[in-house]
Amino acid sequence: NAGVTQTPKFRILKIGQSMTLQCTQDMNHNYMYWYRQDPGMGLKLIYYSVGAGITDKGEVPNGYNVSRSTTEDFPLRLELAAPSQTSVYFCASSHPKETSINSPLHFGNGTRLTVT
Amino acid sequence: KNEVEQSPQNLTAQEGEFITINCSYSVGISALHWLQQHPGGGIVSLFMLSSGKKKHGRLIATINIQEKHSSLHITASHPRDSAVYICAVRLRGNEKLTFGTGTRLTIIP
């Protein structure tokens, strides 16, 4: 299993540009998450999904959109990039056991995004 | 006040020392996670706890639900243990995790 795969690893955007951060997992996990990590801050939840076709907002959803058309893929879209979106983005997934709400998380390697 | 507080923020120790990292939280939880973030940025899940104690190799995690406190211990520390250790809690009845800001551990040879 490849686990959770994120692309790209690095990206520089100009203000107002748009892009999609890709996330795919091959572990048949129902739960998938997008987090951002700013220097000196804890991970903040942007959006999450409990299964294909279902998404919900996290703590910091403004400026982002997601979709979950398949179990494997959970892309994160930035429509009009702003400097405040400069951050490191992590995708994660968790196991679909009956108690999956309490299952360990599997993280992608992160995407370092700079908006100038 | 953050719902999850970690201490210390930074810790430097000599190789071989016993390490303790603490995590306190202020609300009822269903589970607590300890994560390790390597210098390269990748995040690995170390433990998930809802009670008691878990051990994996030189790492030990404990949780006291009544005191709303968890500790991560590393025995016989090694420079490869240098990383940021992150505590995260899952609130009762909630699919989301709340993260602490992490403890940066540096082990000197």
Tens of pLDDT, residues A44-75: 999 999 899 999 999 999 999 999 999 999 99
Q: pLDDT tier at A98 (50, 70, 90 boundaries)?
A: very low
Q: What is the pLDDT of residue A10?
A: 95
Distance between CA atoms of residues A52 and A68, nearest Å: 5
Partners of residue A41 in chain B, C-beta under 8 Å? 101
Partners of residue B63 in chain A, C-beta under 8 Å? none
- Give mean pLDDT, residues A90-108: 74
Distance between CA atoms of residues A11 and A114, nearest Å: 6
> Which of A58, A70, A64, A68 is closest to A82 using CA atoms?
A64
Phi/psi for B27 (5° steps) reads -130, 170
Distance in Å, alpha carbon of B31 to nearest chain A alpha carbon: 6
Q: Residues A94-107, buried b or exposed e (16+ Cβ, 10 A)? A: bbeeeeebbbebbb
Distance between CA atoms of residues B34 and A92, nearest Å: 15
Q: What is the pLDDT of residue B34?
A: 95
Put simply, whether B42 touches A (Cβ < 8 Å) is yes
- Where residue A84 falls (left for φ over 0; alpha for ψ -120 to 50; beta otherwise) is alpha
The answer to whether the Cβ–Cβ distance between B96 and A45 falls below 8 Å is: yes
Res A102 pLDDT > 80: no
Using a pLDDT cut of 70, give the percent of chain B over it. 96
Q: pLDDT tier at A97 (50, 70, 90 boundaries)?
A: low
Res B23 pLDDT > 90: yes
- Give mean pLDDT, residues B86-97: 82
Res B92 pLDDT > 90: no
- Give mean pLDDT, residues A27-37: 92
Q: What is the pLDDT of residue B54?
A: 93
Q: pLDDT tier at A39 (50, 70, 90 boundaries)?
A: confident
Nearest CA in chain B to A91: B43
Nearest CA in chain A to B49: A102
Q: What is the pLDDT of residue A54?
A: 95
Least confident residue range of A49-58, A67-76, A101-110, B31-40 = A101-110
Q: What is the pLDDT of residue B1?
A: 57
Using a pLDDT cut of 90, give the percent of chain A over it. 75
Residue with more model confidence, A86 or B96:
A86
Partners of residue A59 in chain B, C-beta under 8 Å? 96
Eight-state DSSP code of residue A44: E
Q: pLDDT tier at A96 (50, 70, 90 boundaries)?
A: low
Distance in Å, alpha carbon of A101 to nearest chain B alpha carbon: 6
- Where residue A51 falls (left for φ over 0; alpha for ψ -120 to 50; beta otherwise) is left
Partners of residue A104 in chain B, C-beta under 8 Å? 33, 45, 48
